[in-house]
Amino acid sequence: MKKIQFNKVLDVNILSPLKVEWRKSLTAPQDDMWESFMKNSIHWEIKLNDKIIGYACVNSDNHLLQFFLVPEWMQKGISLFKQFINSQKIKKAVVGTNNPFFLTVAMHYQKSIKIDTYLFTEFVKGIVVETEGTLNLAKPKDLDKLVIFCHDSTGAPKEWLKEYINNLINRHDIFVFEKDTEILGTCEVRRNENNPLIANIGMIVSPAYRRKGLGTFLLGKAKEMAIKMNKQPICSCEKDNIGSLKSIQKNGFRSMHQILLMEF
């Protein structure tokens, strides 16, 4: 085989054609949260002479999030994968079962595997039981109180939340559920920039109002809105988040794919 190079990429736009090919290879839609993790990781080009034949993504913890080769070179994937993880001293990877090439080559070197996250798609029609309160599209004036609510409900950093929620508000993708001016929860219908056929949905419930069916209601409303937009609703949930898992399943979602954590 001719000499292979692994080079850090400064302008990720040069990988756009490869990312289009990668999305075509998926066996199920990619969750936008995990794709955002890849987007914010360090990108590596896999180069043969002057031609880019693939790419990889590695996060700040040196965990491999993506490994992809063009079809003409996939037959060399197992050996190239080993060269890459050895060269970068990578000991862990985060791999979706909907990402067949990455999963296939990584399986050859894994020493342990565990499920981290379930990926869900709709299989059964759900019935939304209405709940007292009002659900409205979030507006710019709601930003500060939403940041506080989401921080108190999830523990996520306020600085990150401010940027994230502001983007959702500008895209008209986040809704606020209130009763007597108190925020009880939020839900999101995130239209996917890379796949116009799907919408990623999610919800957050105030700790004071959990285990009362509110999460199921909010997720059901998000699902309804996605379907009205003519988009396929998808969502995800960490394996140990039992409350969210129940709400998702009650709304007719089933997990055919997972995000796996591998050690090499």
Alpha carbons 236 and 259: distance in angstroms, whole number: 9
Contact 30, 199 (CB under 8 A): no
**121-256 has which CATH code?**
3.40.630.30
**4-110 has which CATH code?**
3.40.630.80
Check whether 1 has a pLDDT greater than 60: no
Alpha carbons 115 and 94: distance in angstroms, whole number: 10
What pLDDT digit, counting tens, does each position of 233-264 carry?
999 999 999 989 999 999 999 999 999 999 99
Amino acid present at 237: C
pLDDT at 129: 83
Q: Between 8 and 193, where is the model more confident?
A: 8
Smallest Cα–Cα separation from 43: which of 26, 65, 23?
65
What pLDDT digit, counting tens, does each position of 100-159 carry?
999 999 999 999 999 999 999 999 887 788 889 999 999 999 999 999 999 999 999 999
Which DSSP state fits 71? G
- The per-residue pLDDT of the chain, averaged, comes to 95
Query: What are the strands, taking DSSP E only, across the chain?
Result: 4-8, 42-48, 51-58, 63-69, 92-96, 112-122, 134-137, 174-179, 182-191, 198-205, 232-238, 253-263
Q: Answer yes or no: same fold for 4-110 and 121-256.
A: yes
Average pLDDT over residues 217-244: 95
pTM of structure: 0.90
Domain boundaries, the chain: 4-110, 121-256
At residue 193 the predicted structure's pLDDT band, cuts being 50, 70 and 90, is confident
Q: What number of other Cβ atoms are within 10 A of residue 218's Cβ?
A: 27
Query: 182-191 and 198-205 as β-strands: parallel, antiparallel, unpaired?
Result: antiparallel
